[in-house]
Amino acid sequence: MSAIAVESPDSALLFVDNGLKHRRSSTILNPRSYLMDELWRQAPVLTGSTNFEPLKDAKNIFITGGAGFIACWFVRHLVLTYPHYKIISYDKLDYCASLNNTRILDGCPNFCFEPGDITDTKEVKRMLRKHKIDTIFHFAAQSHVDLSFGNSYAFTNTNVLGTHVLLESAREHGITRFVHISTDEVYGDVPIGAADLSETSLLAPSNPYSASKAAAEMMVHAYRKCFKLPLITVRSNNVYGPHQFPEKIIPKFIMLLQRNSKLIVHGDGSPTRRYVYAGDIVDAIDTIFHKGDVGQIYNIASKDEVSNMEICHKLLNMFNLPSATAEELEQCIQHTEDRPFNDQRYATDGSKLAALGWQQKTDFDDGLRTTVDWYKRFGEVWWGDITRVLTSFPVVEGREIWTKEEHEALPGDGEAVSDEDMDEMPWTKQALDHLQHSPTTER
């Protein structure tokens, strides 16, 4: 197996506002692109399994981040399971989203997609009025920890300001229920052998991503206390499964193996995480929605705690690649520098949710096999060219992606590039389309 080579047709030349030319070799992802019908019809329609008596005070449900990973599972589940509910999926279609995730719903009378940004106050308020929203599920977030070390402002903007906009808009509009999706990372690192953390445990985030989610939770808490907003907070373990953008460890590893490339492991690969299959988290959130109490916090906790190296071994085995000896592992794994800080493990107590009747149904090995099968069939086409996504510590700005090395080689602000250098990189249709549809680009 070899290290991954980066050759993308989406090399682009862009201009900055001061008119100076910058040269960029990058990939631009288009979340609005659709698969061909021939391929689309082969995709399984994946949902949860729960089916409760519909709530009488819930009819028009607003789901943020609905074209993203976890939310698209929940959107599909609600639309197809509960015709009583009208589902409005709201998403700004960032690099990791895809309209393919909910394409199956386009003809459903109880489904509507609305493009938009949760930080846009006027647009959010307009959506709540237009669709007479009574229930909000807030999934939308910047969620990739690696990116938060290099572009933390984006995490504060989306995760904190975006949550604040939704809370204030919901307060002014009036709603019956607001479910805020958070993360177990707000608790911080849990030492090996320590007791699992309950919902009342101290929040101690240790990276910019988890800090932004904890800050968002403080806004949620304030609006619950001050304005009696009917809020529920959900903190989940790591979620995996089909439809997850391949920047996260499991789909990234699958796609690297699919390309006969080495697995890229940060540090020694010893950190562990507890994993919940996407179908199970849909059932958990659906259970909280229909049976949970307003004002409460619920952990969604898995029994499957797996280290990064264990994931490597399981996937290598599923791809029939030998990994029993150090020499065999060296052929399949490339160790790189670790994150600036990496929590060793998270561990939460899910007994409060279990009391509502939820239990984990999909064990890790079964969920992993289903996930591998999906990515083998659809991983290369679902989002576009993911080559740069599969490198170590890629850099993302908007919908544009570079390798770490490419981004470090970019000219600094105000640094001009010669016309001779510019001529070395031809225009492509993708780059031209990107520029032509960008209102802020000077041409």
Q: Given pLDDT bands bounded at 50, 70 and 90, which one contains residue 152? A: confident
What contacts 370, CB < 8 A, 6 or more positions away?
241, 242, 277, 362
Tally of domains within the chain: 1
82, 95, 209, 375: which is the annotated catalytic residue?
Answer: 209
Our answer to whether residue 400 is catalytic in this structure is no
Q: Given pLDDT bands bounded at 50, 70 and 90, which one contains residue 2? A: low
Greatest distance between any 2 Cα atoms in the chain: 68
What is the rounded (10 degree) CA torsion for 82, 87, 91, 93? 60
Domain hosting residue 72, numbered range: 34-243+274-306+342-362
CA distance 389 to 177: 37
* Residue 413 pLDDT greater than 70, yes or no: no
* Residue 21 pLDDT greater than 80, yes or no: no
10, 117, 185, 304: which is the annotated catalytic residue?
Answer: 185
Our answer to whether residue 120 is catalytic in this structure is no
Neighbours of 391 (CB within 10 A): 23
Tell me, yes or no, whether 435 lies in a domain. Answer: no
Reduced to 3 states, what is the DSSP secondary structure of residue 227?
Answer: helix
Q: What is the pLDDT of residue 414?
A: 56
Q: What is the pLDDT of residue 286?
A: 98
Q: Which tens digit of pLDDT belongs to each residue from 153-193?
A: 888 999 999 999 999 999 999 999 999 999 999 999 999 99
Tell me, yes or no, whether 178 lies in a domain. Answer: yes
What integer is the mean pLDDT of 383-395? Answer: 93
DSSP 159: I
HSE (CB half, 13 Å, CA atoms) of 384? Answer: 22
Our answer to whether residue 209 is catalytic in this structure is yes
Question: What burial class does residue 64 get, using C-beta atoms within 10 Å of its C-beta: 0-12 exposed, 13-18 middle, 19+ buried?
Answer: buried
Tell me, yes or no, whether 266 lies in a domain. Answer: no
Tell me, yes or no, whether 107 lies in a domain. Answer: yes
Neighbours of 219 (CB within 10 A): 18
Q: Which tens digit of pLDDT belongs to each residue from 295-343?
A: 999 999 999 999 999 999 999 999 999 999 999 999 999 999 877 767 8
Tell me, yes or no, whether 13 lies in a domain. Answer: no
Report the CATH number at residue 146: 3.40.50.720
In terms of C-beta distances under 8 Å and separation of at least 24 residues, what long-range contacts does 50-55 make, across chains too?
Answer: 50/77, 50/81, 50/282, 50/283, 50/286, 50/287, 50/290, 51/81, 51/82, 52/286, 52/287, 52/290, 52/291, 53/290, 54/82, 54/84, 54/85, 55/289, 55/290
91, 94, 117, 184: which is the annotated catalytic residue?
Answer: 184
Which two three-digit tokens encode residue 81?
Answer: 């399971």
Tell me, yes or no, whether 370 lies in a domain. Answer: no
* Residue 433 pLDDT greater than 60, yes or no: no
Tell me, yes or no, whether 41 lies in a domain. Answer: yes
Total-model pTM: 0.89
Tell me, yes or no, whether 422 lies in a domain. Answer: no
